Amino acid sequence: MPELPEVEQVRISLLPHIVGKTIEKVRVDLPKMILHPEPEIFARQLQGARFTGVQRRGKYLRLDLEKGCWILIHLRMTGALLALPKTAPEPPFTRMAFFLSGEENLYFTDIRTFGVAALVGEDSWRDKGYEGLGPEPLDPGLTPGYLREKARGKTAVVKAFILDQTILAGLGNIYADEALFAAGIRPTRRVNRMTRKDWEALTLAIRDVIRQGLEHHGTTFRNYQDADGNMGDNSLYLQVYHRKGRPCKRCGALLKQIKVAGRGSVYCPHCQK
Ligand SMILES: [Zn+2]
């Protein structure tokens, strides 16, 4: 699933393809992906709208339109936004097509079909997940004190805690495992067993792994690509994710995989306490 660095790369790569372009027509092939309004109304209201910018919050993309409206998109597992010349064939797994002014069209492709889109701002409908997002890893508001305060009175395991988008926006399985490794904390540690020092180490680690992911244009394992169809390079730099049974790059112990919060979680039994 694309996480903060991957979605940010999609945002950056989309900008030159859509900003200033007008939507001439929208074709929705998979009605269930439109959260709001009804798919026909969604398509009709977008006709003639012009893109003014692209923003990101957590793992959400916000394609801004004139008059204060935007298309809210969550790519979920395998969603992608691809800009292609009008002369090129439509990409496989196209679920929605934006026919734009100019030389290119924009395609929302999705193999697993969990991706969603909504038109926001025309009425009072708002997406709860988007509205409830916590601070971003690189926000000044994300401090060890903030996380400690949020954890007060809770007994959740730390991995579930940092995956909770209302606490912290943008982390998914890859960057959560990487941050916990960098901080030396096991994914199963209860948040009420975290010291002040642990929170400091974890906050720094979260910032570091996200920065590194951004620098390498995201992590591609299977499906993730940006609007130009490019993949990210960050998988080369990962320490634990997808490395079950392989030696820890720090100590040589074999990495273990367990299920935490319903997700496969890889950690080093020697480096992470
Ligand atoms: Zn180790």
Active site residue 244: no
Per annotation, catalytic residue among 3, 6, 104, 136: 3
Q: Is 5 a catalytic residue?
A: no
Q: Let me know: does 180 contact 205? Beta carbons within 8 Å.
A: yes
* Ligand 1 centroid – CA 59 distance (Å): 30
For residue 63, the cross-strand partners are: 54, 71
Model confidence pLDDT, tens digit, residues 180-211: 999 999 999 999 999 999 999 999 999 999 99
Which DSSP state fits 101?
S
Q: Is residue 268 over pLDDT 90?
A: yes
Q: Count of CB atoms within 10 A of residue 211's CB?
A: 13
Average pLDDT over residues 144-167: 98
- Cα(116) to centroid of ligand 1, in Å? 39
What's 247's DSSP letter? B
Give percent above pLDDT 70 in the chain: 100
Q: Quote the pLDDT of residue 212.
A: 97
**5-63 confidence digits (pLDDT tens):** 999 999 999 999 999 999 999 999 999 999 999 999 999 999 999 999 999 999 999 99
Residue 65 neighbours by CB distance under 10 Å: 22
pLDDT tens digits along 115-152 = 999 999 989 999 999 999 999 999 999 999 999 999 99
User: Domains plus CATH for the chain?
Assistant: 4-131 (3.20.190.10), 144-235 (1.10.8.50)
Which has the closest alpha carbon to 176: 137, 232, 147, 131?
A: 137
**In the prediction, which pLDDT does 271 show?**
98
**Ligand 1 centroid vs 250 CA: distance in angstroms?**
5
Separation between Cα atoms, residue 93 and residue 82, nearest integer Å: 11
State the Cα–Cα distance between residues 134 and 198, nearest whole angstrom.
20
CA–centroid distance, residue 94 to ligand 1 (Å): 42
Would you call 3 a catalytic residue per the annotation?
yes
Average pLDDT for residues 88-108, to the nearest whole number?
A: 98
- pLDDT value for 67: 85
In total, the chain counts a number of residues equal to 273
Mean pLDDT, the chain, as a whole number? 97
**Closest to 107 in 3D by CA, of 95, 119, 123:** 95
**Tokens read off for 249:** 């790059």
pTM (2 d.p.): 0.96
Q: Which of 2, 5, 137, 187 is catalytic?
A: 2
> What per-residue confidence (pLDDT) applies to 1?
84
Mean pLDDT of 161-169: 98
Q: Is residue 59 flagged as an active site residue?
A: yes
Instruction: State the amino acid at position 172 in one-letter form.
Output: G
Q: How far apart are alpha carbons 84 and 86 in whole angstroms?
A: 6
Calculate how far, in angstroms, residue 169's C-alpha sits from the geometric centre of ligand 1.
28
Average pLDDT of the residues in 92-110: 98
Q: Which residue has the higher pLDDT, 261 or 20?
A: 20
> Of the residues 11, 21, 56, 59, which is catalytic?
59
pLDDT band for 102, please (50, 70, 90 cuts): very high
Distance 247 CA to ligand 1 centre (A): 8
Tell whether the model's pLDDT for residue 174 goes beyond 90. Answer: yes
**pLDDT value for 221:** 75
pLDDT in tens, 214-250: 999 999 877 789 999 999 999 999 999 999 999 999 9
Query: How far apart are the CA of 177 and the centre of ligand 1, in A?
Result: 13
